[in-house]
Amino acid sequence: MSAKVLVVGSINVDLTIKVAHLPAPGETIHGSEPQFLPGGKGGNQAVSVAASGAEVIIIGAVGEDDHGAAALASLKQQNVDTQGVDVKNSATGTAFIFIESSGENLIVVTGGANSLVTPQDVETKIKVLGGENPVVLCQMELPLESVERAAQVAEEVDGRFILNLAPAAKISDYLLGQCNPLIVNETEATFLTGQRIASIEDALKSVQELAGLTRSAVITLGADGAVWSEGQSAQHKPSEKVQVVDTTGAGDAFVGALAAAFSQGLDLARAVAAGLTAGAKTVQHFGAQPPKSQVG
C-alpha cells in the first residue's frame, strides 16, 4: 500500500507576463497582458505528486480573497486534497513572474498567508492527516520554524522527510540531517557548499559533499539532468531533450514526482528518473502547473 505524500508548503497565485527579454537593472520594457495562474512551490509540487498517481494532501494557507478561493478550486481540480489548508486573514501569496522568449524567467514572491502557517498548524495536520509512514515534503516558502517542526514530526511518525531548499536559506545541522533527500539546484548547492558548479564533475563532487551532511542529496542541473548521492558514490542522469516553452515550475515538477515515487516504494535512482521525466514535460507548456485539459 502506498504512503500518503504530505506537501507542507506555499500556495500562491502567479502573475505571469511574457517579455522579449528579462529587464536589466533600471530598464523599463513592455510585456504581454498579465495572466493569473495557480502556483506556489507547495501547490506546484502537490500537483506534480497527484499527476504521478500518488495520494497527496497539501498543508498550508491561503488568504480571504478571490485568489485564495481560485487556488483551492484549482488544486482540487488537479486531484490534490486540500483539507490541510487554512484560510487566513491575509492576502494569498503572490509570485510576479516575467518570462522571456527563450523560456527563462525572473520571479519575485510575496509570502501573504503562507507566512502565517505556524509550527502548531503543521504538527497537528501531519499527525491527523498523515496515516502510516508518510512522505513529508517541504520547501522554504513557509516560516523556517514551521519547516523545522515538519521535520521533527515526520521523524516522530516514522515518515520520510524531503526538503527542497528553495529559495536557499541557512538552516540548522539538525534540519540538514533529516533530509532524505535534500534537493537543490546549482545555485542553491553553491549557497550551501561555497563551490561553483561549472560541469557535471563539479556537480558530482558537490552532491557527494551534501550527502555527507544529510541522509541523501540531489542536485538538479536543468537541461543537464540531475546528480544524486546517498553517501557512498554519486551518479548522474541526463534530462530528455525537449522543446522549451517555459521553465517555470520545472524544478517543482521534478520534486513532486520524486516524492510520489518514494511513496510508491521506489529507490532514489528511480525517483530521480521519474522527476526528470516530469520536469521535461512541464517545460513544454506555459505556466507552472499543467493546463486543465491535461488533467485526467
Residues with catalytic function:
252
The phi and psi torsions of 285 (rounded to 5 degrees) equal -135, 160
Is residue 95 within 8 Å of 12, Cβ to Cβ? yes
Report in angstroms the alpha-carbon separations of 97 from 109, 112, 217: 9, 16, 28
- Separation CA 172–CA 214 (nearest Å): 11
Under DSSP, the state recorded for 31 is B
Is residue 67 within 8 Å of 209, Cβ to Cβ? no
Sign of CA dihedral 61, 64, 65, 70: positive
Among 75, 71, 74, 76, which Cα is nearest to 87's?
71
Is residue 154 within 8 Å of 175, Cβ to Cβ? no
Per the listing, cell 518570462 goes with 99
- Map residue 97 onto helix, strand or coil: strand
Q: Outline where the chain has alpha helix (H).
A: 41-51, 66-77, 119-129, 144-156, 173-178, 186-193, 200-211, 250-263, 268-282
Edge-first strand listing for the sheet containing 35-39: 35-39, 12-19, 93-100, 105-110
- For residue 201, give every residue at least 6 positions away whose Cβ sits within 8 Å of its Cβ, in sequence order, or none: none
Greatest CA separation found in the chain? 55
C-alpha grid cell, residue 137: 515534503
